[in-house]
Each structure stands twice: as structure tokens, then as C-alpha cells.
Amino acid sequence: MARDRFNINTLTTEFDYNLLKSSLRDYGHPRVKINQLIKTHQIIRVKKGIYVKSRQPYSPLVLANMIYGPSYVSQDFALSLYDLIPERVTTVTSMTTGRNKEFNTPCGDFSYEHLSPHFYIYGLRRIEIEGGRAYLIASPEKALIYRIWTVKGLNTLKNLEDYLEGDMRLDFTNIQQIKISNLRKLAKIYDRPALYLLEKLLRDRMPS
């Protein structure tokens, strides 16, 4: 029987409806089987068309790319992953060329903010993890650039330094991962005076 031929291990940890339906192609009524898998807690429905296996750890970063796209992980969630800010951010924050969106799911909260395609395409990293899975995330330079780009009034080195140390609590002991050359390229693309000040400030504060 088709039921005997189904093997959940053929699925990746995070998967969409098309992959699940393909694995159930021998079933006359795949939706019935999908509902059974959910009811027996073998899989979790994250949102319409997106699922995870319930008995093994999933990646919120992979899920963030899948839930709404095109998108890449950024802002405070990325800065926290890079240990550039001390807070452990629970909502996975992403940028998208689509509309602003928020999703509250059984696997966590996901927030998406619109960004023009002109700025979207630069400074991205594709990170591969086990099982052939991957996700897109902003580089440390891009995540930091965007955070400063959205704040008004950072028109002097003193204002910027106060913001980085007081509001953001930027961990200057970890800024060695930031490449000044990449920061400079992004500053030219985003083209705001505060970003050129950021380049100078970080270059001066880099550990020797």
C-alpha cells in the first residue's frame, strides 16, 4: 500500500507543500495523508504550504527565507547572530522586496520589512548548513549599514558614537569581522553622510 512506502526521512527538515505532495505521489488523496501527519505530530504546519518535521531541530533562518520571499535575514536578528549586539533577538527579522509582513507561527515570529531592489541585492551571504539546506543573510556590514541608514540625526561622529554605544550597545570587541572595504562599498550605495562617518569611526576603533 502507498502508506507503507512513505518515508518521512526523505524530506528535508523544512519543506514546502510541493515537496511533500511529491513524496506522496502514490497516494490517491495526499491531503488526507498530510492532515494525518499533522494530527499525529509527525510534521508541523508553519503556515500555508510550509512545514517542518516535528521531531528534529529546524532552522528559523531557513524558515524565514521560505515563509515569505524573496527575503534575507537582517537587522537586529543578524546583528545578534554576529555578536555585534548583546541582545538575544527572538523575532526573526528580514528584508524583502515585497510588502511589509509579520507572521506568528508555531515555530516563532517572523517580521519582514520592504527594501527597494536597488539596495536589496548587495551585501548578501548564502550560508549552507547540513542536509543541503541554505539561507540568505545580510553580511555584518550590510546589517549594520541598514540600522544606521534608518536613523535620523546621526550627523556628527559624537552623535553616531553615542548611538552605537548607548542605543545599539554595539560590541566593539567583535567589529574585527567587519571589512572596511565592504562597508565603504555599501556606504556609497546607500549614500548617507552618517554611513561615511560610520566607516571612519569603525576604522579608528578596529583592534590592532
Q: Domain for residue 208, yes or no? A: no
Predicted pLDDT at 1: 43
SS3 content of the chain, % helix, strand, coil (to 5): 45, 20, 30
Q: Are residues 83 and 161 in the same domain?
A: yes
pLDDT, tens digit, for every residue of 62-101? 999 999 999 999 999 999 999 999 988 999 999 999 999 9
H-helix segments, the chain? 2-5, 17-23, 30-39, 60-67, 75-81, 117-120, 140-149, 157-162, 180-190, 193-205
Instruction: Return the C-alpha cell found at 174.
Output: 567583535
What parts of the chain have a pLDDT lower than 50?
Answer: 1-4
Residue 104's SS3 state is strand
Question: Residue 44 sits in which domain range?
Answer: 2-53
Question: Would you state the torsion angle of the CA atoms of residues 168, 179, 194, 143, taken in this order, to the nearest 10 degrees?
Answer: -50
Q: Are residues 75 and 120 in the same domain?
A: yes
Q: Are residues 76 and 170 in the same domain?
A: yes
Predicted pLDDT at 6: 73
Q: Are residues 156 and 93 in the same domain?
A: yes
pTM of the model: 0.92
Predicted pLDDT at 25: 84
Q: Are residues 71 and 149 in the same domain?
A: yes
Q: Are residues 80 and 176 in the same domain?
A: yes
